[in-house]
Amino acid sequence: MDKNLNEKESQSQRRKILKAMRNGESFTALDALCRFGCLSFGKRISEIVAEGNFVLKEWEVTPTGKRVMRYSMPKVIEITETPL
């Protein structure tokens, strides 16, 4: 693992990104930079996945025709049993 000189900041970014994604938000690298000041969004996503979380990836085309990856988490459906 790379030595990160600012591990506390990385952990903070990872927690904020994970919380937002669990709340249904999705992000591109530019979104993460603007919202969280995160320059290593790909690394944070890799860490989130390494922790056992499932992250969806989807290509998106911007209005200028550029392709960017958008990351999100699947919605969790709660299943409850009904009495028979």
pLDDT digits (tens, 9 = 90+) for 27-73: 999 999 999 999 999 999 999 999 999 999 999 999 999 999 999 99
pTM of the entire predicted model: 0.77
Domains of the chain: 7-72 (1.10.10)
Q: Provide the 10 A C-beta neighbour count for residue 15.
A: 12
Structure confidence at residue 1 (pLDDT): 47
